[in-house]
Chains A and B, each alone.
Chain A
Amino acid sequence: MDKAQDAYDGRRWHDMGGEAAGPVPQDDHDFALWEKRVDALMVICSSHGLFTVDGLRRVLEDMAPEAFETMSYYERWIAAINQNLIEAGTYTTAELAKRMSEVAARGTTYGEASDA
């Protein structure tokens, strides 16, 4: 998969059709509540016209290739939703920054931090 810089042909990491890869992993996992909430926010914000699925995909694809391996599916999605909402002017980076710090201060688990 590593391509020398001078051999770069414009193909990006997400465009993986036809590449060699290992066996298909057969394990599955149950969705966590926070993952379902990310999905719900995506559907709701799209239906309100705050962004398009194309805008979300653009952000996902612009992530570094490592994101696919180091972040989970819904981690990538919340990052893409957030960037689109900031671009849409729904809230500012400063508002997000302040709120994330407040959230972090509420507790050390998702349950403690999300049910305030």
Chain B
Amino acid sequence: MPDRTYLRVRADMPPGHVRTPAYLRGKTGWIERELGEFPNPEERAYGHPGQNSPLLRVRFTMGELWGAGAENPDDTLDAEIYGHWLQAAEPPHAP
């Protein structure tokens, strides 16, 4: 298995427009690929130009997301997450 960079999605629950789905908050995945910088939609939604934020595709296992309820724990879910929502993390324990 190649070296993976694990990241944890911040568990914050602010009001207003964000593009980080609630079901991913607090979950740990690894970088699938880096996509470059994009203006922050949380600022653009309110009429501001939006500071650039790195956007990453993060891959999660279904086991990490849904625990014992996963259909198949080795299936995966990829999502694009902005850098300010991500923190360095250790690999999650196997479910």
Chain A positions within 8 Å of B, measured between CB atoms, are: 9-11, 15, 17-18, 52, 54-55, 57-58, 61, 87
Q: What total of A-B pairs shows CB separation below 8 Å?
A: 39
Supposing A10-B15, A55-B47 touch, asked if A17 and B41 sit within 8 A by C-beta, the answer is: no
- Which of B2-10, B16-24, B51-59 has 4 or more CB atoms under 8 Å from chain A? B16-24
Partner of B45, one of A10, A18, A58: A58
Complex CA gap A17/B21 in Å reads 7
Task: Assess whether B1 is interfacial by the CB under 8 Å rule.
Answer: no
Does B84 interact with chain A (Cβ within 8 Å)? no
Q: Judging by beta carbons under 8 Å apart, are A9 and B17 in contact?
A: no
* A10 and B44 in contact, given A15-B21, A15-B22, A17-B23 (Cβ under 8 angstroms): no
CB-CB < 8 A to B65: which residues of A?
A: 18
Q: List 13 A-B contacts (CB under 8 A).
A: A9-B13, A15-B23, A18-B23, A18-B65, A18-B66, A52-B44, A54-B41, A54-B42, A55-B44, A55-B47, A58-B45, A58-B46, A87-B47
B36 interface residue (CB < 8 Å to A):
no
**CB of A77 to closest CB in B, whole Å:** 16
